[in-house]
Chains A and B, each alone.
Chain A
Amino acid sequence: MRKILIIALREYKEAVKTKSFILGLVLMPVLMGGGMAAFMIFRNKVDTDDLKIAVIDHSKIIRETLEERARYRNENEIFDKETGEKVKPAYILDFIQPDTINAFQQRLDLSDRIRSGELHAFVEIGSSILHPDSTLENALIRYYSEHSFMDDVRYWFSDPVNNHIRQLRIDEMHLSPEETRDLFYYINVEGMGLVEVDKRTGDVQDAQKTNELESFLVPYFMVLLMFMLVMMSAIPLLTAVMEEKMEKIAEVLLASITPFQFMMGKILGSISVSLTIAAIYVLGAVITMKQIGMDAAIPYHVLPWFFVYLILSVIMTGSGMAALGSACNDNKDSQNLQFPAMLPILLPLFVIVPVMQNPTSSLSTWLSLFPPFTPMLMLTRLATPVTIPAWQPYAGLAGVVLFTILSVWIGGRIFRTGILLQGQKPTLANLIRYALKG
């Protein structure tokens, strides 16, 4: 154990004292936070040049409303309320007569004007939008621009047109304002937790509203953090071991330590690195959430599971990576193996959303009990507000512990053979042979 600790300490010191580690540790939250801040700052920083939009109104009922809405917007909604500075472009609508004989040519001409920069877009409003016929052929509003999918102007057209034609339909029905209000009153389904009994006082506690942060962001943050930590600490073992083998460092060390001590020392070093980063980020997240008054969303009950599963995940992945690294002979070998070796930690990411949406489904349960996926998926389920059966995290833990022992055992056998062999390709057949023969 003493020698394992010496190896682990060297690995840890070499990892954490590098400038890139410290820079990465500081930069990642800065970049993530900065990215969000930049998004908030720049989302309103759009081009403020006025946008000219041609409108072909076949319906002949919408022009007045659109002009009125555009005028109101251009006078009231495009300036910063405090500074009076223009922050959005004005929409200049140009209503043009529909060409009923050669509509296609008209669209082509307008498209050319867009391409030449004279127009931003043009909108074609169907003739029967008020009373769509059975084919709905003329009940369409089409928005033509060079990038219509992400264009704010397209979204702006939707409301005034629909509100106006809806009002026209209501007017035709002669409904009272009350009837109109009732007709359009939309009731949201409110998400609630469960009613509980306080174990200390015995009082019944009313259910709390569930929120987006608790249901989605907390599990997502924790799983991403675990993924990132495993990526940062366990995955690099593959190339590190390969380099130690190729540079003959391994042979020097193997005169003093057994291959198993060598491998475990490296894995223990990786665990220490990941725990250091985890402690810093989790502590930072807890303090930040407390500062902004979101204590209630901190999943304290999940944190011990997070650390336990993190440690096991690093051991499980790290032993595999070290074993594969020992079987490699050059960078090409390690590059070829890196992606397949990462699959056990990549695949759970693809099913996180369905697991978060329904943490108690059979799919979620069984996937989270599959040992390679357990650390990430069981953590996801634990972090959601839904209560999962109490035995499942423990069953998952038992599975992961057994699987980790198996990984270390197989990894150790491959490692002790691979680390001294030169020129043998790390094929599946060779890896199985090393594992069987030890």
Chain B
Amino acid sequence: MDIIELRQVTKKFGALTAVNELDLKVPSGTIYGFIGPNGSGKTTTIRMIMNILYPDQGTILLFGKEQKDQRLDHVGYLPEERGLYKKMKVYDVLKFHGELKNGKNIRQEIDYWLKKLDLSAWRDKKVESLSKGMTQKLQFIATVIDKPGIIILDEPFSGLDPVNAEILREALLELQKAGSTVIFSTHDMNMAEKMCDYIFMIHKGRKVLDGTLAKIQDQYGSDTLRIQTELGADALEGIKDIEKISDFGQVQEVRLSAKADSQVILADLMNKTRVLKFEVTRPSLYDIFIRIAAPERKEDNHA
């Protein structure tokens, strides 16, 4: 069953079409990753799902029906920019959000989540005394305090250190196991690859990718090499049939042209230097993102 469905949804702001004839189906119980460059329409799409903005055209179904002009008690929403009353105490702010969402057993839920996200010691402290990362975790708890069926998170990992990002990732997986459907937007392609059952990419208001990671990668074939050599990126100088090099320092990700032969490239490299790693693979989500969002970038091209 699709728990969220968008049918030909369009939203304009004056002359700008922020979202253009968007179709999307989110199956229940999955984790769906929204990716796209800044200003591509991710937040607008999320706001329309949340009924904060209304589409100019098209239909949005949640739990199988339109929810126009209604507030969604079973949908948790973490906006891109966090906003909590700074003068309220941590417990009070969570109770306030829990009550607004008509949550059950709020007190127990608050205690559970504070402990899980390592915030119990801050229970009676004011929000303004928390660090940015703590505030982010607190906002996350406020989002899920009523055990919502759908959890929509706009950039949940931005600004979190790896330890806290890991805690949040585990929490999301736990919520998914408990039956929640999770949608989150992110610029962290690595996290999206690891966590998401489905990836959805929006660019200039239009859907450009939608499906499982494997299905998306299949569209691009095995045209990518991951190479590690003693010479680094310099080893690739003068090698033919390379379309693009993404240099990560220790590792270089190389996109091959259609006529390229990976064995010839391996032999050329071995003539030049010691090859530490040579992997023929499908493009990463990061590479696919760059191919779609910045096809005009030429500086790394080695055609």
- Residues of A at under 8 Å CB distance from B? 2-3, 6-7, 10, 14, 244, 247-258, 261, 420
Contacts and interface: CB of A to CB of B under 8 A. Distances in A.
B72 A250 contact: no
B85 interface: yes
Interface string B63-86: 000000101110111010111111
Contacts of A251: 52, 79, 81, 83
Q: Please list the 4 inter-chain residue pairs (A to B) with the smallest Cβ-Cβ separation, ordered nearest first.
A: A248-B83, A255-B77, A249-B83, A248-B81
A263 to B, nearest CB: 14
B139 interface: yes
A149 B97 CA distance: 63
Contacts of B97: 256
5 contacts: A10-B88, A248-B79, A252-B142, A256-B97, A420-B53
B71 A256 contact: yes
Contacts of A248: 79, 81-83
A247 B85 CA distance: 9
B96 interface: yes
A423 to B, nearest CB: 11
A242 B225 CA distance: 53
A14 B83 contact: no
B85 A256 contact: no
B72 A14 contact: no
A249 B71 contact: no
B101 A252 contact: no
Given A6-B99, A10-B96, A248-B83, A254 B52 contact: yes
A159 to B, nearest CB: 62
A253 B81 CA distance: 13
B215 interface: no
Contacts of A250: 83
Given A6-B96, A6-B100, A252 B79 contact: yes
> Chain B binding site: helix, strand, loop or mixed by DSSP?
loop
Contact of A14 (B53, B84, B88): B88
Given A14-B88, A256-B101, A247 B52 contact: no
B175 interface: no
Contacts of B71: 3, 255-258, 261
Interface in B79-129: 79, 81-88, 96-97, 99-102
A250 B85 CA distance: 10
B50 interface: yes
B52 A252 contact: no
B79 A255 contact: yes
A255 B72 contact: yes
A260 to B, nearest CB: 10
Given A254-B52, A420-B53, 9 more contacts: A6-B96, A7-B100, A14-B88, A244-B83, A250-B83, A252-B79, A255-B72, A255-B79, A256-B73
Nearest to A3: B100
Interface string B159-196: 00000000000000000000000000000000000000
B69 A258 contact: yes
Contacts of A261: 71
Interface residues of B, number: 28
B155 to A, nearest CB: 13
Nearest to A254: B52
A14 B93 CA distance: 11
B100 A247 contact: no
Most buried by B among A3, A14, A250, A251: A251
A7 B71 CA distance: 15
Interface of B: 47, 50, 52-53, 69, 71-73, 75-77, 79, 81-88, 96-97, 99-102, 139, 142
A344 to B, nearest CB: 29
Contact of B85 (A2, A249, A257): A249
Nearest to A259: B52
B171 to A, nearest CB: 18
Contacts of A253: 100
Contacts of A252: 77, 79, 82-84, 139, 142
Among A3, A7, A251, A256, residue most surrounded by chain B Cβ atoms (within 10 Å) = A256
Nearest to B73: A256
A103 to B, nearest CB: 71
A10 to B, nearest CB: 6
Contacts of B86: 247
A328 B86 CA distance: 20
A254 B100 CA distance: 11
A2 B99 CA distance: 9
Contact of A256 (B53, B82, B100): B100
Contact of B50 (A6, A247, A255): A255
Contacts of A247: 83, 86
A3 B86 CA distance: 21
Contacts of B77: 252, 255
Contacts of A2: 102
Nearest to A421: B13
A252 B97 CA distance: 9
Contacts of A254: 50, 52
Most B-side CB within 10 Å, residue of A247, A257, A261, A420: A247
Contacts of B73: 256
Nearest to B77: A255
A257 B96 CA distance: 12
A6 B102 CA distance: 10
A105 B52 CA distance: 83
B180 to A, nearest CB: 16
B75 A255 contact: yes
B62 to A, nearest CB: 13
B28 to A, nearest CB: 20
A255 B99 CA distance: 13
A248 B155 CA distance: 15
Contacts of A10: 85, 88, 96
A248 B43 CA distance: 14
Contacts of B75: 255
B88 A257 contact: no
B52 A420 contact: yes
Contacts of A420: 47, 52-53
A264 to B, nearest CB: 14
Contacts of A3: 71, 100
Nearest to A244: B83
A247 B135 CA distance: 13
A405 to B, nearest CB: 20
